[in-house]
Structures are given as C-alpha cells and as structure tokens.
A and B are shown apart, each in its own frame.
Chain A
Amino acid sequence: MKRTATIFLLTILAFLVLLPFLWTVSTSLKPLPEVNRYPPEWISPAITFSPYVDMFFFLPFSIYTLNSLLVASSATVLTLIVGSLAGYAFSRFEFAGKRAFLLLFLLSQMLPGASVIIPLFQLARDAGLYDTHVGLILVHTAILLPFVIWLLYGFFSAIPREIEDAALIDGCSRLDALRRVILPLALPGIGATAIFAFLGSWNEFFFALILTASDSTRTIPVGIGLFIGEYNDVWNQMSAAAVLFSFPPLLLFLLMRRTFIKGLVTGAIK
C-alpha cells in the first residue's frame, strides 16, 4: 500500500517535472492552425509529423543541423587529440611546473564566457575567422579542453605504468607507447570523454551566438535561441527543432547514465 502510494507520487511528480518538455513535444505534432487553437489540446485530432519535415525546408534547420554536426564533431576530435597529449603528460611525467599547469587548466574552466567574449570576437574578426566554422570549432575546442584534460588525466592514471614500461623496453617510442598501449586500454574512458565533448559543443549557445552572423554558420541552438515568437508564428516547427535537437543528449544519457552522472560529479568536484 505504502509502496503504491510512493510510486503514485513519484509518477505525478515526473509528469509535473516533464511538463514543459512534453508540451513542446505535443506542439511539435500539431499543424499550425491547431497550435493557435483555444482551448489548447494535448493531443490534437489532426496529429501530424509534418513540422519535423517542414522545419528543414521552411526554416533553415537543415543548414543549422549540418553546421552543428560539423562543429561538434570537429571540436570533439580536435579536443581529444590535444587533450590526450596533455592528459598523458600529466599522468606519466613529473616535471617542473606540473601543479601550476594543472591549476591553469582548472582555473580556465571557471572563466566566465562574458569576460573573454569581446577580445575573442576581435581576434576572430582580425584573423578572418568571424562567422566561420573554423573559428567556432577552435573556440569550442579551447572551452572544452580543460574538462577533457582532467577527465583523460584520470583515465590514463588508472592504467598501470608497468604495461607501458614493458612496451618501452621492447623498443617502442613514447608516442608509439601512447598510441599502441595506452590509447586502446583507455578506450572506454576516451569514448565517454568524447561524448561529453560532443554534447558540450552541441549544446553551446553563447559563443556560437556571438561568433556567427549568417545562416551558413549558425548552429541549431542559435536558431532556437534567436526565435522571438510573436503572433501566428511557427511554434510547431520550432518545437520540432527543439525536440530533435534534444534527441542526441537524451539518447546518450539513456545509454550511459552511470558514466554521465559520474562525469557530472567529477566535473563539479574533481
């Protein structure tokens, strides 16, 4: 009896909590006249998937999606390459200034975006990288790096040194040892890190908003964030875009909840 009551309460709460998102999903499945209908209905009798198609043609979401995919995957690859070199250095070497460098990366992660954005904008403009994919990829890489380095540092440190020493004795160079011994062993950790990096870039809004100016470079969050939504606006197509855009994070979260939450806790505390 008590158990049923608790589950009932938990279910009610789940509905309350998910209400804003469910309402967006509901809107994304309505034709436009139904969106502006009063009183509103949760499930419209004229239920349709057409907003999910229309947004790619009537709104620029096909370009935005390609931009988002390009920026997020490039930033992920770049961050992983640069980050694993640094993470490896931290996990395998003792050197002067190690603590200072670690602290630098830790602090740069706490840097408020608002306090670097103006010079970054000037830098991008002077280098001809304003409103380009490359500019945004480089900035996303830099923002993601500190967190990625800390994660990889942890994963690499968990691999016993002896395995690597054996490879070095067998005549492997340092880079060979990293490539052939450490990387394969750290693969699960690197995979998790890659997902964090990808989602970080995928969801990033502030820099993407300021450093882009045209549809050919804007990412999905910029498209959604710039929508004002006055009278008779295409709320259904925008909702469809928002739902589709939320799909990768939700899917990855569902598949790897444990790693996700571990990363969340690690990211906050270290």
Chain B
Amino acid sequence: MKKSTPYLLLLPALLFTLFVLVYPLVQNLINSAREVSLIRGANGWVGAGNYLRVFQDSLFWVSFRNTALYALLGTLLSLLIGMGFALLLNARAGKVTTVFSFLYTIPWVISPVVAGFAWKWLLNDHFGIINYWLISAGLLRENYTWLGNPGTALLCVTIARVWQFYPFAMVMFLAGLQAIPQEQYEAAAVDGATAFRRFFHITLPNLRTVTSVLLVLGVIWSFNDFNMVFVMTRGGPINASMVLPVLVREYSFVFFDLGKGSALSTVIFLLLASLSFVYIKVLAKRQSA
C-alpha cells in the first residue's frame, strides 16, 4: 500500500474545506484591516479602524445585548420545555409515546424559514389569530403590532425560536432519561423515596451531562442564528430586534461596508470560538466521566 493513498483520498474534501471555510477566515482578517467597499473594492489599510468603528457603533452594543438575550433566554426556555415534554413522554412507554414524540418533534423538522413565516403570520396585527383570540378573551382591546413594536419584537422572535428548538432538547433528554438504570429507581422505591425526591436525587443528576451539552450547544447555535430574526423582523423595528449575524449582512450588503462587516464577522468568530472551546471542554469532561 502506498503511503500517499489516504492523503489522495482526503484531498478533495480538504480542498473544499480550505477554499470555503479556512481561506475565508483568513481573508476576513485581511478585509477587516482595510477599507473595503462592496462597490468600489478595496482601498487602503486602516489598521484597527474598522474594529473601532464597530465598537463605537451603539447599534453593535444593542445587537450584542439582543443576541445574548435571544441566545440565553431562548436556550433556557427550550431546555425547560424540552425537559417537561421528555418527562411526560417517558412516563408512558409504547406506541403512544412514539406517536406523540413524532408530533412534538415536527417544529424542529420543518425549515427554520417556515417556522419564522408561520409565527409572523400568527402574530400579524390585522389578520393574525393571536390578536383575535386575545381580543375575544377580553385581554386586549385593539389589534396589537407584536412584531412592529420595539418592546415586543425580540421577545416574539425568541418565542418562535423556542418553539423551533425545544424538540432538540426533548429528544436529547428523552435519550438521557431512557439511559438511566432502572435499578436506581427501584432501590429508591424500596427506601420509600417520594417521586419528588426521586426526581431531584436520581433523574436530575443523571441528566447533568446532557444538560450541559445542550446548554452550550443551544447558546452557540442561537448566537449564530440568522434565520429567525431575519425572516420575522429583519432586525426591526428601528433595530429593536437586531442580532449580530443580521448586523453583518446589514453592514456589508445594505451599507456596502465590507471592511466593517468583516471586522464584526471576526468579532463574532472570536466570541463563538471561545464558546466552542467551552463546548469541547464539556465534551472532554463527559467522555472522561
């Protein structure tokens, strides 16, 4: 067997990865140190100028706060709901579980774009069914513009995100629950432990690693999520629901400032690289445990 064989086999995949993923990362760094316009092309070197302009932009800080809120709140709620559903489904084994776990997973299976579209329609101020129900129930006096109001836009997008993401947590928790040795529960039952105590002393500790993986992964993915915000609000109204990935597009392809866009891209990359570092640490701990 020739020594070069495995490298030849890897070559096409490596070329793809280098061209589409590694080279852009480097080019991004170069961009971020220059004045680059989408229309006029690259101009001169500006050193850290683009980064300064990003950090001096109050919109960056608003987006940063929004992204953090969206990622943290969205992930926490998804985990809570996912855990609730998993416990409910785990209690009833058999065919019923299969059917319902299928139904509950649907929001995750359909495209995020469809999820965003469906929620946008549900929340439509004139013809949306949510306004209609709230008015019918006497909770609202007139149609409310959920996505057109700076106070509620981000919250609504976050709820849509939770709707789309909780099934992932549910499936992972369900797998985690089914892996807990039954003997632990039997022993606890013999000792006369209440359901409450069994949950806190057996179920939760056994789900600790799944929970930490989900938490880190959920935050990374939501931090990275462009789709839900773009489809539902495009970051509006008046940037009230702007998040960092959408802001990259705004800088680069709406204001044609590729240099500033690249600087922001690099900032996002560094933020996510540190989050991923945490994720790898969590995984390593999980494997050694």
Contacts and interface: CB of A to CB of B under 8 A. Distances in A.
Given A114-B268, A225-B113, A242 B118 contact: yes
A206 B12 contact: no
A214 interface: no
Given A104-B17, A118-B31, A249-B111, A210 B24 contact: no
B129, B175, B283, most chain A CB atoms within 10 A: B129
Q: What's the interface size class on A, roughly?
A: 35 or more
A8 to B, nearest CB: 12
Nearest to B91: A6
A20 interface: yes
Interface string B52-74: 00000000000000000000000
A143 B223 CA distance: 18
A113 B12 contact: no
B213 interface: yes
Nearest to B1: A174
Nearest to B176: A265
Contact of A205 (B19, B113, B175, B268): B113
B163 interface: yes
B109 A253 contact: yes
A55 to B, nearest CB: 13
A156 B263 CA distance: 41
A23 B103 contact: no
Contacts of A143: 20
A203 interface: yes
Interface string A68-104: 0000000000000111011011001101001001001
Query: Which secondary structure dominates chain A's binding surface?
Result: helix
A88 B9 CA distance: 8
A162 to B, nearest CB: 16
A206 B137 CA distance: 39
Contact of B283 (A6, A249, A269): A269
Contacts of B88: 6, 9-10, 13
B146 interface: no
A118 B252 contact: yes
A169 interface: no
Nearest to A243: B114
A171 interface: no
B100 A264 contact: no
A3 B16 CA distance: 54
B31 A225 contact: no
Contacts of A92: 6
B114 A86 contact: no
B258 A118 contact: yes
Interface string A196-235: 0000001101100110000000000100110101010001
B226 A268 contact: no
Contacts of B245: 112-114, 206
Contact of A17 (B92, B103, B171, B248): B103
A257 B102 contact: yes
A186 B141 CA distance: 61
A246 B114 contact: yes
A58 B111 CA distance: 23
Nearest to B22: A108
Given A95-B7, A246-B111, A18 B13 contact: no
A6 B5 CA distance: 58
Given A108-B17, A110-B272, A123 B127 contact: no
B103 A18 contact: yes
A93 B6 contact: yes
Nearest to A238: B117
Interface string B75-99: 0000000000100110110001010
Contacts of B127: 35-38, 40, 235
B188 interface: no
A145 interface: yes
B20 A139 contact: yes
B87 to A, nearest CB: 12
24 contacts: A6-B91, A13-B85, A24-B117, A36-B126, A93-B6, A95-B7, A101-B10, A101-B14, A111-B269, A114-B249, A114-B268, A117-B248, A121-B252, A139-B20, A142-B19, A143-B20, A221-B113, A224-B117, A225-B230, A227-B117, A229-B121, A249-B110, A253-B105, A264-B168
Given A108-B21, A110-B276, 8 more contacts: A21-B106, A112-B268, A114-B249, A115-B24, A123-B27, A224-B114, A238-B117, A250-B106
